[in-house]
Chain A
Amino acid sequence: MKARIAVAAVGLVLVAVGVRGIVLHVDVSGWAVWFVGAAVLHDGVLVPLVLAAGLLTRRLPGPYRGVVRGALVAAGCVSAIALPLVLGYGRRADVPSRLPLPYGRNLVVVLGAIAAAAVLAATFRLLRERGVGVERAGRGVRLRRRPRPGPEGGVRR
């Protein structure tokens, strides 16, 4: 308990240091717009999009649902991080070694690799499911572990 109070106290001090630094050294209104705006856009736009993707993939057959959702998670994260590179606003004519690659094409390559991995995983699952049909009796415990898909989506296996 004492350790937790100490950690919380250190946290409070750091919060105070941070707030003081922001007030003294940063344009607070612009900072606040980005700080709160990031949370609002995340909660109000990004997560609803993810939930919609969960609903859209809900009806996929069991073995593939998780694979497709996993691929979408990875593809979404990679795309979000690559977006500023693809847009390329940071390019400068006098510094060609800055953002030197064809990022649009590269993103397509990475997304293609994720899709290929997903197809492989789905094929593997399909084959395994067929195999499981034969040895079902012996693997009952394992089969019971499969979660039930919910209406909101997000259950993966």
Chain B
Amino acid sequence: MVRRPALLRIPALPRPPLPGPPAVLQTLPERFTSRLHDERTAAWLGMALGASFLTAFATGLVSHFLQHPPGWAQWPSRPVNLYRVTQGVHVIGGLATVPLLLAKLWTVYPKLLRWPPVRSAVHGGRRLLALVLVGGALFQLVTGVLNISYWYPFPFFFTTAHYWTAYLLVGALLIHVADEWPKVRRTVMTRPEDAVGRRAFLLTVAAASGTVALTTVGEAFSPLARLALLAPRRPGVGPQGLPVNKSAAGAGVAAAAREAGWRLTVTGRVEREVTLSLAQLRALPQRTARLPIACVEGWSAEATWEGVRLRDVLRLAGVADGARVRVESLERGGLYRTSDVAPPHWRDPLTLLALGVNGAPLDLDHGFPCRLIAPNRPGVMQTKWVHRLVVS
């Protein structure tokens, strides 16, 4: 329920002859007669929204620091599906947040139209905070939705803008939570006796979120793949039953990857440099691992990979236990031409230099002749078309 500020209820006061705003502007908030525009609805939606955004922030940070690890961080290679889950929660949860945010903004919309726009310095500060919250939340959801659709109509680089805006949004969110805490506590803890149909409204919003989740979650949770009518990916669709993010042609490696002279070189801080042909790699002990490709865009799909253990190849060359390995692709450039493999990952027996997937040699688009596949790691770091391992 939005009440007109008491100040405005004294029309008889003699006022300076300045032309005041039209009466319609001063009474706009009162024209919203739905009783769902009230504190209690806003509080419940706000709590759900706060939990959603904090979850997205945490899972987003996981994904960010996996790809840009600070010196002290040691990301484990197990559980195998951890990144798959955190990033799935980030993206599917983010999509399901859209109805929550829209409902919350609708609930508090009359506050936008209050007159006068700014009553005091504190009130002005709150309104600025609201702009940061509204702009930031919409910015994150809009850019996120566009990014997973591979549509980049904005003039900035998605990951950088999405990353830094997250700090701004969550910072504003924490200030907002601290500011509204007593109000939320009071309104949620008291039993309303006003017969406003909040429950039906909140259930409707939950149903909308549920519909969004249900029609997209199958891109990560393959038992529901057939329900993923509105997901940008579908497990099972792609060469060898596996989606592809970057094709060999798109990466400009189609010719180089098929060359008979392809060799895998292990170099850097090794006891002896090793060069292996594809036939020599196939002659090493072959292992099988059931591992997912878990993309930063939220989709993931499991496959059965065959190849040699990365640690077997590295031990052929003789490397220290604490060594770090840079895996290099045949690609000439691009952000993801190389990836770093820290000890927990290269020592893991599940980490393979895969030569085949799902019972056949790798498709060119899956990284033929040789690709990295490791547990609990973003898809962009499962380097394809590998030709060099540089140990440091």
Residue numbers of A with Cβ under 8 A of B are: 4-5, 7-8, 10-19, 21-22, 25-27, 30-31, 33-36, 38-39, 42-43, 46-47, 50, 54, 66, 69-70, 73-74, 77-78, 80-82, 84-85, 87, 89-92, 94-101, 103, 106-107, 109-110, 114, 144-147, 150-157
Contacts and interface: CB of A to CB of B under 8 A. Distances in A.
A89 B389 CA distance: 37
Nearest to B102: A77
A89 B163 CA distance: 24
A95 B245 CA distance: 7
A16 B244 CA distance: 38
Contacts, number: 243
A95 B232 CA distance: 12
Contacts of A85: 149, 230, 232
Contacts of B197: 66, 145-147, 155-157
B249 interface: yes
Given A34-B142, A94-B247, A81 B172 contact: no
Given A4-B181, A8-B178, A97-B243, A152 B171 contact: no
Given A18-B164, A97-B237, A155 B35 contact: yes
Given A95-B246, A98-B245, A152-B33, A25 B200 contact: no
Contacts of A13: 171
Contacts of B134: 38-39, 42-43
A155 B151 contact: no
Given A16-B171, A27-B156, A39-B134, A153 B34 contact: yes
Interface of B: 31-37, 95, 98-99, 102-103, 105-106, 109, 112, 131-132, 134-136, 138-139, 142-143, 145-146, 149-151, 153-157, 160-161, 163-179, 181, 195-197, 200-201, 204-205, 207-209, 211-212, 215-216, 229-234, 237-239, 242-247, 249-250, 365
Nearest to A7: B178
Contact of B164 (A21, A91, A114): A21
A123 to B, nearest CB: 17
A35 B155 CA distance: 12
B237 to A, nearest CB: 5
Contacts of B212: 77-78, 81
A47 B249 CA distance: 45
A11 B32 contact: no
Nearest to B166: A18
